[in-house]
């Protein structure tokens, strides 16, 4: 039996988890300026690891994607390379070390990102959409932000980034038009997992390790 799924349906089904992933005290702190710089730098150095690993996953998805999504995914991969260099630049400007140990929540996300590489394309493209869209919604919600954090909120809140997430959503919806029962369960589980991993990622700024 074939079934289907849509991104909208996933957002509705896991609305509570999605809200936690996109409305967090970290983001409130970005908005008000009450976030400690040391907390922000914890996020920064861990997100640098995230971006490096995510680009490898997107590279794997590019290798397998249907021709109709080739330009979209390649564009995304290109933007991630820019993001990795940008993280290095922002860290250098602020004397933030990118050589700190990887924290557990980041390591967990990294192993999840690796696991996506062997999933079917319909699961992969939904994951790419959810991972980018969660940041788009989260950072837009933190805009306008305090001056210290403006460049960061601007990156993922930008209209061009929003447009990219819309294109990913269209590609994901298209790819999820025919799913096996097993794939349907996988997209739902993966969507929820992404929301939980994102929440834990924000939480990291508040852990002492
Ligand atoms: C944790 N999620 C996390 N970091 C990011 N940079 C993105 C999503 C989007 O690129």
Model confidence pLDDT, tens digit, residues 109-156: 999 999 999 999 999 999 999 999 999 999 999 999 999 999 999 999
What's the rounded Cα separation, in Å, for the pair 163 and 152?
A: 18
Burial 2-29 (b: 16+ CB within 10 A, else e): eeebebeebbeebeebbebbbbbebbeb
Does residue 131 have its Cβ closer than 6 Å to ligand 1? yes
Q: For residue 169, how many other CB atoms are within 10 A of its CB?
A: 20
Q: What mean pLDDT comes out for the span 78-92?
A: 98
Could you tell me the pLDDT band of residue 26, with boundaries at 50, 70 and 90?
A: very high
Find the 4 Cα to ligand 1 centroid distance in Å: 27
pLDDT tens digits along 53-84: 999 999 999 999 999 999 999 999 999 999 99
pLDDT higher than 70, residue 17: yes
pLDDT tens digits along 177-201: 999 999 999 999 999 999 999 999 9
pLDDT higher than 90, residue 209: no
> By percentage, how much of the chain surpasses pLDDT 70?
99
Find the 107 Cα to ligand 1 centroid distance in Å: 13
Does residue 50 have its Cβ closer than 6 Å to ligand 1? yes
pLDDT of 208 reads 59
Structural domains of the chain, with CATH: 2-206 (1.20.910.10)
Half-sphere exposure of 52 (CA within 13 A, CB side): 13
Is ipTM over 0.90? yes
């Amino acid at each position: 039996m074939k079934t289907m799924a849509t991104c909208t349906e996933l957002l509705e089904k896991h609305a509570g988890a999605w809200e936690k992933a996109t409305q967090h005290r970290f983001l409130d702190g970005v908005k008000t300026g009450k976030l400690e710089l040391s907390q922000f730098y914890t996020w920064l150095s861990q997100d640098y690891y995230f971006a490096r690993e995510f680009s490898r996953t997107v590279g794997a998805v590019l290798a397998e994607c249907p021709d109709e999504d080739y330009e979209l995914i390649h564009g995304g991969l290109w933007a991630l390379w820019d993001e990795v260099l940008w993280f290095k630049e922002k860290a250098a400007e602020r004397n933030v070390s990118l050589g700190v140990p990887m924290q557990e929540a980041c390591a967990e996300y990294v192993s999840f990102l690796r696991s996506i590489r062997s999933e079917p394309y319909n699961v992969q493209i939904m994951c790419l959409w959810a991972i980018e869209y969660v940041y788009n919604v989260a950072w837009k919600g933190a805009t306008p932000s305090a001056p210290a954090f403006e460049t960061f909120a601007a990156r993922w809140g930008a209209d061009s980034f929003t447009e990219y997430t819309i294109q990913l959503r269209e590609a994901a919806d298209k790819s999820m038009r025919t799913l096996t029962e097993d794939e349907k369960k996988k997209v739902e589980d993966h969507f929820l997992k992404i929301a939980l991993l994102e929440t834990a990622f924000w939480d990291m700024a508040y852990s002492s390790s």
